[in-house]
Structure 1
Amino acid sequence: MPTMKKRTSVHALTVLALLASSAYLTVELRSEERDSAPGVQTVKDRPVGAGDIDKDSGAQRWERLNNPARTVLRGDQGQILATFTDKARTATLRGPSRTFAEPANTAVRVVTEDWVRLMPQAWRQGAEKEAWFKTWFKEASTTKEDDLFATAFQYAAGAPVKKDAKGLAYAGDANFGPVNPDLTKNRGTPLLEQSDFFHYLGIPYTFRDGTTKQPEPTRAKAIDCSGFVRMVFGYRARYPLASDDNKGDGLPRTANGMARSHLGADILPLSGPAPWYERPKNIDVLQPGDLLFFKMDHHTGARLDHVALYLGPDTEGHKTFISSRKEVNGPTIGDKGGVSRIDGSGFYAQLLRSAKRL
Structure 2
Amino acid sequence: MHRGLTGVVVIALLAGGVAGCQRGEGPAAPAAAPAQDFVSAPPVEELEFERVSDPPRTLVVDSAGKTLAVFTDKARTVRLTGPSRTLAEETHTAATVTTDAWIRLAPRPWKKGEEGQTWVRPWLEEALADRSPDALAIAMEYVEGGKRDASFGPLSNTDPDGRAERSDFYDYLGIDWEFPDGKNERPDPDHIRSLDCSGFLRMVYGYRMGYPLRGTNTPGTGLPRRAYAIAKFGPGAELMPNRGTQAREYERLNAGDLVFFNGGPVLNDHIEHMGMYLGVDSDGRHRFISSRTKADGPTLGDTGGDSLLDGSGHYGVRFRTARRI
Bin the TM-score by the shorter chain: 0.7 to 0.9
Match of 2:306, as an amino acid?
Answer: V
Q: Flag the 1:10–1:157 CA change in 2: closer, same or farther, 3 A.
A: closer
Q: Which residue of 2 aligns with 1:134?
A: 121
Q: How many residues align?
A: 292
Over the matched positions of the two proteins, sequence identity in percent amounts to 41
Q: Which residue of 1 aligns with 2:36?
A: none
Corresponding residue to 1:244 among 206, 209, 216: 216
Is 1:12 the counterpart of 2:16? The answer is: yes
Match of 2:187, as an amino acid?
Answer: P
Normalised by the length of structure 1, the TM-score is: 0.77
Gaps of 5+ in 1: 1-8, 22-58, 161-171, 272-276
Match of 2:312, as an amino acid?
Answer: S
> Whose helix fraction is larger, Structure 1's or Structure 2's?
1
Normalised by the length of structure 2, the TM-score is: 0.84
Cα offset, 1:302, TM superposition: 5.8
Corresponding residue to 1:177 among 153, 156, 170: 153
Gaps of 5+ in 2: 1-12, 23-28, 30-45
Distance 2:106 2:137 in 1: 17
Deviation larger for 126-135 or 289-298: 126-135
Distance 1:264 1:151 in 2: 20
Is 1:217 the counterpart of 2:217? The answer is: no
Corresponding residue to 1:77 among 64, 67, 70: 64
Q: Residue 151 of structure 1 aligns to a residue in which SS?
A: helix
Q: Which residue of 1 aligns with 2:180?
A: 208
Corresponding residue to 1:303 among 270, 276, 289: 270
Cα offset, 1:344, TM superposition: 1.7
Q: Which residue of 1 aligns with 2:54?
A: 67
Listed one character per residue, the Cα deviations across residues 2-23 of structure 1 (whole Å, up to 9, x for unaligned) are xxxxxxx9973428x99xx9xx
CA contact (8 A) 2:242 2:269 kept: no
CA contact (8 A) 2:69 2:79 kept: yes
Cα offset, 1:150, TM superposition: 0.5
Match of 2:318, as an amino acid?
Answer: L
Distance 2:276 2:130 in 1: 22
Corresponding residue to 1:104 among 82, 91, 96: 91
Query: Which ranges of 4 or more aligned residues in structure 1 deviate by more than 4 Å?
Result: 299-302
Distance 1:10 1:173 in 2: 24
CA contact (8 A) 1:208 1:248 kept: no
CA contact (8 A) 2:224 2:234 kept: no
Q: Flag the 1:11–1:311 CA change in 2: closer, same or farther, 3 A.
A: closer
Match of 2:51, as an amino acid?
Answer: R
CA contact (8 A) 1:268 1:283 kept: no
Cα offset, 1:77, TM superposition: 2.6
Match of 2:199, as an amino acid?
Answer: G
Cα offset, 1:247, TM superposition: 6.0
